[in-house]
């Protein structure tokens, strides 16, 4: 059926495509009559209220190839919301002092397409969204990796989701779900102490999927899984200007990742991912072989680019699995399918060959060793707060 979607034409075509996508997208954002509630949990559409259950803040021992000390931060997506922090060494994960760190807002929304946490390129600031209270936060990273809340800003919509920090520094972008006809996009200026001030507000006028900034900091990409497009914006300081609206194929782009001048997109519904090249005018051109499909997966959303092995990793919520893809000889190709170990694998971060994945449906993280065309399970780590963890970042 999904192969026929691009062929639908006429006045009813758009309606049928939109209706079909709404049925397929329980994960992407709060939906009426979905098996998933607005908090992303499998609660038949009920909304969770009150404080999320707390658990002991425990670490996990496992062998890794990492050298030195690294830090991992998870947006718990909890009520009230918080960020969990961990030290990562070759011996495993250890909770940071004072973790989890309260944001002052409410999490628990969905928005699987957009990573809900980011780190500044100088590794001094953590940015985290509150996907339930219309607030956006910045934290200062202390010398021991612990966090201090600096800014708790109110924005234009309740479901604050995807975040992308510019590799140039000084600016961070955030996108919000605001129904199926509105998708606010904000830029914030960031000073040396991690304090933020909103600089620009725009709207893609459709349901957003994700956001990412090009490696050189000149291009901003925002996807819309209902509108079926990916917008390209030019960036100048904290300002962003629409360059081009690109039709996506298949028409349900979700999570985004970029490597050089290649943009990858997960898809909210079908288990297909896309690969595009982009030029200075913001125009996307699909690579041969795109879209590529994982025949055993179900629901592709967030994506991670493994630069060590030049492969894309896509988390597949509905089938609790992963799809791996690569660009070989200029052609985009599906590589392999691997089963997940939690419930609804979502956001990913990689240090060395250690891939850490949040499990949105079980409030935990799974640790894998990643190799060319392969994932090897290492450890399951419960988060200290029960929530819907849709964001993870580290350095």
* Three-state secondary-structure class, residue 20: helix
pLDDT at 358 > cutoff 50: yes
* Residue 128, domain member (yes or no): yes
The parent domain of residue 389 ranges over 53-394
Name the DSSP letter for residue 248: P
Average pLDDT over residues 8-32: 37
CATH code, 367 = 2.130.10.10
pLDDT at 32 > cutoff 60: no
| Nearest 10 degrees: Cα torsion 286, 291, 292, 296 | 160
Q: Higher pLDDT residue, 117 or 50? A: 117
Joined tokens for residue 374: 């392969």
Euclidean distance between CA atoms 56 and 112, whole angstroms: 26
| Structural domain count of the chain | 1
* Residue 29, domain member (yes or no): no
* Three-state secondary-structure class, residue 50: coil
Tell me the CA distances in angstroms from 98 to 228, 258, 393, one per residue in order. Answer: 42, 34, 18
* Residue 31, domain member (yes or no): no
* Residue 263, domain member (yes or no): yes
Burial track 226-255 (b if 16+ CB lie within 10 A, e otherwise) = bbbbbbbbbbeebebeebbebebbbbbbbb
Q: What is the mean pLDDT of the chain?
A: 87
pTM, whole model, 2 decimals?
0.89
* Residue 21, domain member (yes or no): no
* Residue 33, domain member (yes or no): no
* Residue 10, domain member (yes or no): no
Q: What are the phi and psi torsion angles at 293 (to 5°)?
A: -125, 140
pLDDT at 30 > cutoff 70: no
Over residues 88-111, the pLDDT tens digits come to: 999 999 999 999 999 999 998 766
Over residues 139-186, the pLDDT tens digits come to: 999 999 999 999 999 999 999 999 999 999 999 999 999 999 999 999
* Residue 200, domain member (yes or no): yes
Q: Is 119 within 8 Å of 72 (Cβ atoms)?
A: no
């Amino acid at each position: 059926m999904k192969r026929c979607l691009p062929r639908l034409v006429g006045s009813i075509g758009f309606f049928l495509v939109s209706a079909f996508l709404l049925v397929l997208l329980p994960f992407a954002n709060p939906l009426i009559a979905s098996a998933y509630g607005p908090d992303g949990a499998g609660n038949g559409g009920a909304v969770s209220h009150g404080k999320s259950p707390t658990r002991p803040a425990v670490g996990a021992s496992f062998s890794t190839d990492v050298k030195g000390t690294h830090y991992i931060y998870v947006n718990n997506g909890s009520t009230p919301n918080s960020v969990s922090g961990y030290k990562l060494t070759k011996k495993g994960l250890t909770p940071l002092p004072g973790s989890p760190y309260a944001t002052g807002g409410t999490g628990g929304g969905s928005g699987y397409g957009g990573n809900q946490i980011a780190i500044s390129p100088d590794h001094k600031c953590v940015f985290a969204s509150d996907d339930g209270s219309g607030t956006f936060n910045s934290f200062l990273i202390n010398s021991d990796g612990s966090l201090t809340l600096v800014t708790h800003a109110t924005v234009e919509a309740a479901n604050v989701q995807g975040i992308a920090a510019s590799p140039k520094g000084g600016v961070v972008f955030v996108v919000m779900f605001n129904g199926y006809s509105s998708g606010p996009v904000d830029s914030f200026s960031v000073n040396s102490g991690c304090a933020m001030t909103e600089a620009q507000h725009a709207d893609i006028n459709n349901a957003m999927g994700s956001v990412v900034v090009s490696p050189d900091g000149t291009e901003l990409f925002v996807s819309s899984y209902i509108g079926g497009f990916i917008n390209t914006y030019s960036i100048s300081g904290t300002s962003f200007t629409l360059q081009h609206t690109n039709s996506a194929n298949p028409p349900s782009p979700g999570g985004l990742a970029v490597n050089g001048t290649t943009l990858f997109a997960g898809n909210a519904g079908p288990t297909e991912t896309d690969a595009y090249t982009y030029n200075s005018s913001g125009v996307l051109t699909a690579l041969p072989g795109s879209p590529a499909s994982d025949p055993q997966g179900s629901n592709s959303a967030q994506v991670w680019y493994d630069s060590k092995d030049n492969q894309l990793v896509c988390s597949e919520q509905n089938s609790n699995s992963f799809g791996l893809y690569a660009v070989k000889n200029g052609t985009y190709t599906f590589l392999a399918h691997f089963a997940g170990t939690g419930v609804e694998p979502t956001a990913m971060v990689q240090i060395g060959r250690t891939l850490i994945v949040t499990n949105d449906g079980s409030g935990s993280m799974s640790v894998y060793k990643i190799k060319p065309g392969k994932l090897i399970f290492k450890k399951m780590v419960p988060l200290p707060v029960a929530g819907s963890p849709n964001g993870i970042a580290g350095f």
